[in-house]
Amino acid sequence: MAASDVFGAVCDRLVGGMMFHSDNADLCMLMGFKRLHKLHEEGYACDSRAHRKVRTMCLRMTNELPAQGRQERGRILDRWRSKSRVDIPHDERIATLKEAVRDWADWERNTAEIYDDAAKRLWDMGECHMSHVIAKMARSASEEMATACDLMCRLEACGWDATIA
């Protein structure tokens, strides 16, 4: 596997992350979860900046474009497309909040694993600097997972009171 292929896998995950955070930001705004909405807006912005950084780094280091995979749009918003905020009962909002926070933690855990694997592959190729950058991204994803898990614990402790989300 070439370095451009490894970078391509990282870029694909970042594009998926932008879609994930964008859809969840919309969902959280629809449900009225303002703080969680802001966290997903920030996640989108971070993934967008990282995507440009990784693509630029790949071009500079390998003189190649990163390999490009195919991203499918998530289905997070499908069941909400025809609903208005006022049409969604409280218990459905709480169930959606639980699902959204759990999905966020799972997404970040999987992302950290993908980035760790990419960093190891780059290290094995002798691309130490690039490996270090991707490893930092893995730590960032792990920190985001910890944030999601912390939010899940705080919400559980207060009976999933959506006003703190």
CATH number, domain containing residue 117: 1.20.1260.10
Is it the case that residue 14 has pLDDT exceeding 90?
yes
- 134 in a structural domain: yes
* pLDDT more than 90, % of the chain: 64
State residue 38's pLDDT score: 96
Distance in angstroms (rounded) separating the CA atoms of residues 122 and 15: 20
pLDDT, position 28: 93
With respect to residue 130, please indicate whether it lies within any of the assigned structural domains.
yes
Residue 82: per-residue pLDDT: 81
pLDDT at residue 25, rounded to an integer: 95
Residue 45 counted as domain residue: yes
Whether 74 has a pLDDT exceeding 70, the answer reads: no
Mean pLDDT to the nearest integer, 85-103: 89
Structural domain contains residue 70: no
Q: Which of 97, 4, 11 is nearest to 53 (CA)?
A: 11
Q: What is the mean pLDDT of residues 119-130?
A: 94
Instruction: Over range 127-131, report the average pLDDT.
Output: 92
Q: Residue 14's CB: how many other CB atoms inside 10 A?
A: 24
Q: Is 2 helix (H, G, I), strand (E, B) or coil?
A: coil
Using the predicted structure, report yes or no on whether residue 62 has a pLDDT greater than 80.
yes
Q: What is the pLDDT of residue 161?
A: 80
**Model pLDDT, residue 72:** 64
- Which domain does 120 fall in, by range? 3-65+98-164
Evaluate whether 142 touches 106 at the Cβ level (below 8 Å): no
In a domain, 73, yes or no: no
Total count of domains within the chain: 1
According to the model, what pLDDT value does residue 119 have?
Answer: 97
The predicted model gives 103-115 an average pLDDT of: 96
User: What pLDDT was estimated at residue 71?
Assistant: 67
Instruction: Tell me if 85 is assigned to some domain.
Output: no
- % of the chain with per-residue pLDDT over 70: 96
